[in-house]
Amino acid sequence: MKNLYSLILVVLLFLVGCIAGCGSDSTDFGGTGSTGSLRITNNSAYSVNYVYLSPASTTTWGLDLLGVANIILPGGNYTIYNIPPGVYDSKITLSNNSPWIKYNFTIATNQIYAIEVPSSASKVTVTMAETPKADVLMNGGVKGADASE
């Protein structure tokens, strides 16, 4: 009987550890050589459910970089590493289904480009690098479209 209780305790401790640590706070974009990073800080009241990053020259968003196991909770951070240098667009979708679009920002070698999702519903703010052509909360739209506030 004592062995059964010990086994149950070990299984419970394993499950609690897995639940606490299964999510990740970073993704490897897969670039090699000289690369940069993108750090997303969520200051909103909503979780970030999806993050898309693609070269500005493309017309599609590509795959969700958070994957099925990760979200960015309010107050949380997430970093995408090993991004080849270049000009990118990003789409960040909140749990209220509001997509935040950031166009034409530069990821530079050995630097971290930071995007902050603010507590207000006005726009995404840039804390480093170039000014994008649009910072807007969009309820739709086509990637690459030149939006304005």
| Percent of the residues in the chain that have a pLDDT greater than 70, as a whole number | 64
Residue 107: the pLDDT is: 94
Distance CA 46, CA 23 (A): 17
Residue 3: the pLDDT is: 61
Distance CA 100, CA 51 (A): 9
Task: Return all residues near 17 (Cβ < 8 A) that are at least 6 apart.
Answer: none
Strand 86-94 versus strand 135-137 pairing type: unpaired
pTM for the model stands at 0.65
Contact present, 102 and 90 (Cβ < 8 Å): yes
Q: Which amino acid, residue 146?
A: D
* Choices 3.50.50.60, 3.40.50.300, 2.60.40.2890, 2.60.40.10: CATH for 21-137: 2.60.40.2890
Segments of the chain with pLDDT less than 70: 1-24, 120-149
Which residue ranges make up each domain of the chain? 21-137
Residue 2: the pLDDT is: 56
